Amino acid sequence: MKAVGISSLRSLSQLSGVSRRQIEKLRCGDTHQLSVDRALKLANALKISLSELLQLEAETRVPNPEAIQSEYQRLKDELAGLRSQLLQEFQTETLNILEPLLLQWPTAANAAQKNPTAPAVRLLPLLNPLAQLLQNWQIEPIGSVGQVVPYTPQIHQWAGETVPPEGNESVQISHIGYRQGDKLLYRAKVKVPVPQTL
């Protein structure tokens, strides 16, 4: 069409005397419903032979709508998978950068809370956005600082000076850990419980 100065299907229809519907059918590969007479009119309007017209029809055929839908769904699924992968990589990289803060801050905050007159207490609210971020990423703490729990090697890292205890013995969390769903990010550090004073 461009080669012979025809700018639109409407112009081609007017020039050839073939309806746009018939031209669309030809573009979709539905050649068996197009009469030889109409095909010749189209070929003449395009200044090509009938065999060249049929060859062009085969090369420029509009894909089957079902094939388009299938390809769209495939690309959509691929994009969703890529987005999920990129999000996971971003979270992992961010957590690696924040690791010292994530592991040390709760212990420091616990110490500050025990001494309300310490200047550090005023800094505690500044960490609220970090807590919100972890919550948005479904990252949950393993225990809380000072909590006494049964020793579980799968989620606890022994930080005491003695031999690690047997499973289910009472230990005290000194540094909390984190998990994201079923994925363990950091094990909580534990030690021998400090006797509670009255």
Q: Which domain range does residue 45 map to?
A: 9-59
131 shares its domain with 77: yes
Q: In this structure, what token pair is assigned to residue 44? A: 């003449």
The three-class DSSP label of residue 104 is helix
94 shares its domain with 126: yes
Is residue 197 one of the residues assigned to a domain? no
The predicted structure's pLDDT at residue 173: 94
Q: Could you state, in chain order, the average pLDDT of each consecutive group of 10 residues for the chain (198 residues)?
A: 86 90 76 74 86 71 71 83 90 88 83 74 75 90 93 92 85 94 93 75
DSSP bridge partners of 61:
none
Asked if 53 contacts 43 with a C-beta cutoff of 8 angstroms, the reply is yes
The predicted structure's pLDDT at residue 58: 66
How many angstroms separate the CA atoms of 43 and 23, rounded?
Answer: 11
Count of structural domains, the chain:
2
Q: In this structure, what token pair is assigned to residue 99? A: 């690791």
Asked if 152 contacts 189 with a C-beta cutoff of 8 angstroms, the reply is no
The predicted structure's pLDDT at residue 97: 84
Is residue 83 one of the residues assigned to a domain? yes
Is residue 87 one of the residues assigned to a domain? yes
The predicted structure's pLDDT at residue 176: 93
Is residue 75 one of the residues assigned to a domain? yes
pTM > 0.85: no
The predicted structure's pLDDT at residue 197: 56
Of 19, 36, 59, which closes a domain? 59
The predicted structure's pLDDT at residue 196: 66
Of 18, 39, 59, which closes a domain? 59
The predicted structure's pLDDT at residue 127: 77
Is residue 4 one of the residues assigned to a domain? no
Asked if 130 contacts 152 with a C-beta cutoff of 8 angstroms, the reply is no
The predicted structure's pLDDT at residue 132: 86
